[in-house]
Each structure stands twice: as structure tokens, then as C-alpha cells.
Chain A
Amino acid sequence: MTGQSPLLDVRNLQIELITAHGVVRAVDGVSFTVGHGETVTLIGESGSGKSTTAMGILRLLPEGLAVLSGSVRIAGRDVVADPAAARGVRGRTVSLIPQDPMTALSPVHTIGRQLGGAIRLRRPGLSRAQAREKGTELLAQVRISKPETHWKTYPHQLSGGMLQRVLIAIALAAEPELLVADEPTSALDATVQASVLDLLMELQERTGIGMLMITHDLGVARLVSDRIHVMKDGRFVESGPADRIVERPAEPYTRALLAAVPRLGAWDEGEPAVREAASSPARPPGEEPR
């Protein structure tokens, strides 16, 4: 704790999940911080505990089925010790961008109702019309063309990429300091992935928001992160600056992750990633990204 305290300060976080097969320690004592304007990435395979960490930080794991210990301070408030603090920071200090945009919005409510609701939660003084005005502005910010025509549409009428933009707009409605992005591109088409990542980076540059990114894709991690924590079986096996982790991975596990990642090319602009793309073998069968 030197100088200004970080936006997100996770210390020795443990999460135990109560499952049908007994108690599983999904997260086993991880510590990390995210500062203002910083992007920190947790990377690992499915089941490594990275998404559980993200959901645990927001206390969105099912009550009674997940036991948290350690401390998670969001803007100074410990949400592990005090569930009310978690309710206090959600939709204000911190927002979540979910993994699968297709299931993340209520299918029976319009886009406008859900976005407008998020805006009015943050700014209870706004009228419906004012919320709508602000909402269309946010939709324009996430590069949805003709935003006013989408206000009355339902989620099933939009594509996955559009929905993820809507969800980013909803996350921004909270005017958060910290954005938790839980595999924000893994359910999207390859071409759409690039544009959504682009959008996130641009937003971060503009607003100086802190971001916790969860991904299994080292290419994504390399592109957006300041720091990377490589996670396996609930622990960090390797941590460090993004460049160092990608270029000189110390752990065999990190190297395996690197080898497994398919390259997209669209956003890597002749960076070292391209070199790896050329030298890395074709995607092994069964390593389809989720």
C-alpha cells in the first residue's frame, strides 16, 4: 500500500464452490490489483478459475453455494467482508461485460427498457425521456448506427456483436471506474471480436477506466493488457508485464497456452504476434476456442 490505493485490491482470495461432487476450491489464494486506467488480464484454460474469480469479485456467485475468503477491496470497500458493499458498488463503481451476449439480456424486455433502466439506476433523477436521450448517446458511443431505431427492439432481433455493444453501453451507463470483462469476445465471430476489442480499448483510452479482463486467448491478453496473470487450477502460475509474459514465458503452461492460440491478424498490425502466428502450428484439433 504505497501512495494511492488501487481501484481493485484482491488479497489472498479463496473461493470454494459447493457442488454435487463435494467442495471444490476453484480459486486458491490469488492476489492482484487493478489501478485506474490499467488493464489487468487473468488468462487460463476453461476450469482454471478465472471466471469464478471475476464473478466472485462482484459477488455474483450463487449465495450459499460459494464461500469466499480473503479480501476484495473495490474503491476501498471490502466486498468479501460485507455483502452490502457489493450491492453498493455494482452498477456504480464497477460494471460487468458478460461472456455470452446472446443470453445476457432478458428476452422479454426491449433494449431500451434494459439500457434505460441501467441509466435510471445510476441517475434516479432522470425522466424516461432523458434516460432515452442518454441511452441513444451511449449506443452511438459503442458505434451502433441509428441508435434511436434500436430502442424498441428486443434482444432476439439483434446479432451477437450488436448485443455485446449494447451490453457495453449498459455497462457504461453505470459510469463505472472499473470494468470487469468476462471473456467479452469469446462468443463472437472472429471478425466481430476484433471490433469489440477495439471499442473496449478506445473507451478505456478515453475514460481512463480500470479494466479486469478475463480471457483464454493470449493474443487478446497481449493486445489489451498492462499486466497478465496466468491462472491454472485456481492459482497464478506466472504474473508479469504483458510483453514479458508473451515474449519470454517462464512456465511450460504459459508456453502451451501460447501455442494453442489461433491468430486473427486483423488487429495485430505487424507486431510480434504476427511472427508467432507464422511460426505457431495450425490449431490442434479439439482446441476450438469457446
Chain B
Amino acid sequence: MPTYLLRRVGQSLLAIFLTLTTVFLLVRLAPGDPAAAYAAPTASSAELDRIRAQFGLDEPLINQYGIFLRDLFTGNLGTSYSFHAPAFDVVMDRMPYTITLAVAAITVTTVVAVPLGVWMARRADTKRELGANVLTITGQSMPDFWTGVMLLTLFAVLLPVLPASGFTTWSGLVLPTVTVAVLQLALVSRLVRREMVTALAAPYTTIARSRGVSERALTWSYGLRNSAVPLVTALGTRFAALLNGVVVVEVVFGWPGVGSLVVRALATRDYPLIQATVLVTATLAILVQLLVDLAYPLLDPRVRLGKAA
């Protein structure tokens, strides 16, 4: 187990390093000039050269990479061109918003999708389930920018009960959370339904029924417990994705999270800010994945970490 953990942490560090290197190269290969984005539209080419030198972009690529690595290991991710502040601090200012929205959305998703999936599994292939199916498929098919704008129109404009934008009060969390959750809900509830149908049809469920175990215990103890591994995997993956920011929803609701930050960083070719965002979000995503993996042996005793299946 400690060996496994050590190896996984090593793998994670390598993955983060490779991601950073890839991003470092890609942003510089992509068309666009940070100096041009930074300078006034009327700036002369001498001025642009001066800005490039200031950002260290006049050096050969390999030297830039060397400097980037040296700074990285001293914990310096550079200064954001547009915020004139350490890029890492700019990202960390946004992280609480992103984490809040991600936690809220995944909580709502779990609280609604698990009972809904169980409800559908218990009524698999009946007319009533068909109704739930239509709802979840509709939820899955609605693009989030559309859902967001519709919710905004309904609950902030026509029936102004909730704030339309920003995060000044907790009520501001409601609409973005619902918008994100609607999409996740459909996916997760259908997964719960599929896994539960399998578990409820399994011989061990029938045999448990034969010894008088109640339908309630069969559903929650036998069914859901045996569906836990795929469910936790799905929730973990969804959560990790949400931590990378939900660009569209953040833009629609003026949510000050990492998603909208990354859009701005890309638009201004703010290389240090892009790299810092990638470092923070990739680290978080990998951490969540590691926690999910560590949970497997607790959820299924047949799983032994570090052993081939």
C-alpha cells in the first residue's frame, strides 16, 4: 500500500510535468502575440520588441523553457501579463469560487441522481420510467448555455427571485449550480439506473430475497452497495472536470471562477497565467482521481491496489 501510494504520487507528478510542458509549447506554437495583445493597438514595432524583451519572449524557445523550469522548481510561476500580479495568486483568488460551484453542483447531482436512478431501476421498462427517461434525456440534450439563459430569464428577469450574476450572496449560487447539475444529473442517474438494474437482477439479490430480506434492504444495501464502484468513479470524474472550471456557465452568470479566467488568459495570450491555471487545475483533478482510486478497496473487497486485476 505505501509502495502503491508512492508510485501513484510519482506518476501524478510526472503527469503534471508533462501536461505543463505540453501547454508551454502549445501556447507558444499557437498563433498570436502576447506583446500585441498587451500593447495599445497603435504601438510601434520597437515598443512591441521592448514588451517582448520585458516578458522574456525574445529568448530562444529552449531558453524560455529552461527559465520556466528553473522558476517552477523555486515555486515561481511568473507574473501575469494582464493582471500585473503573480500568476499563481491570480489563479488562487479564483479557485474558491470554482471549488464552491463544483462542490455544490456535485452535491446536488448526487442527492438527486442517486434516488432518481434507483427509482428508475425499480420501475425499469415501465411507462412511469419512460417519463423519467424523457426528462433525463431532455436534461442531457439541453446545452448548458441555453439552460443557463432560460433559468436566468425565468428566475432573475421574469420572476426576479434570484440574482442574475456574480456571487455576492449565497442565493447567487443557485442558478449556476442548477445549470451545471441538470447536465450531470442526466448522466449520473442513467448510470445509477443501469448499475442498479444489473445488481437487482443478480443471483445474490434473488437469493437474498429468498431468505426474506426486505425490498428496501435489497435496493439500498444490496443494489446500491454493489453499484458503488462505477458510481464513485463517475462522480469523481465529473467532479474533477468541474474543478477545471465550467467556462460557459461562468460566462453566462458572471461567475468569477477559473473557467472565465482561462478564457481571458487565452484571449490575451497571458502565458504565465495559462500555465499557472493548468498547473492548479491539473493537480486538483489528479488528486481527486487518486482519492477515487484509493476508495476502491473500501467499496469492493475484491479490488487490491497495485495488483493487476
Contacts and interface: CB of A to CB of B under 8 A. Distances in A.
B253 to A, nearest CB: 40
Interface stretch (A89-97, A137-145, A224-232, A248-256): A89-97
B202 A103 contact: yes
Interface string A103-118: 1111111000010011
Interface stretch (A37-45, A170-178, A191-199): A170-178
B204 A117 contact: no
Contacts of B203: 98, 100, 103-104
Interface residues of A, number: 31
B61 interface: no
Contacts of B226: 106-108
Contacts of A96: 207, 210-211
A107 B212 contact: no
Contact of B211 (A62, A108, A174): A174
Interface residues of B, number: 22
B304 to A, nearest CB: 11
Contacts of A114: 208
Contacts of B300: 107-108
A90 B212 contact: yes
A24 interface: no
Contacts of A107: 204, 226, 300-302
21 contacts: A55-B206, A60-B209, A90-B210, A91-B213, A92-B212, A96-B207, A96-B210, A98-B207, A98-B210, A103-B202, A105-B204, A106-B222, A106-B225, A107-B300, A108-B300, A118-B211, A121-B212, A154-B301, A167-B207, A171-B211, A174-B212
In the complex, the 8 A-B pairs of residues with the closest C-beta atoms, listed nearest first: A91-B212, A96-B210, A103-B203, A91-B211, A154-B301, A104-B207, A106-B204, A90-B212
Given A90-B210, A106-B225, 18 more contacts: A55-B206, A60-B210, A62-B201, A90-B209, A90-B212, A91-B213, A103-B203, A104-B203, A105-B204, A106-B226, A107-B300, A108-B225, A108-B226, A108-B301, A109-B222, A156-B301, A170-B211, A174-B212
Interface of A: 55, 58, 60, 62, 87, 90-92, 95-96, 98, 100, 103-109, 114, 117-118, 121-122, 154, 156, 167, 170-171, 173-174
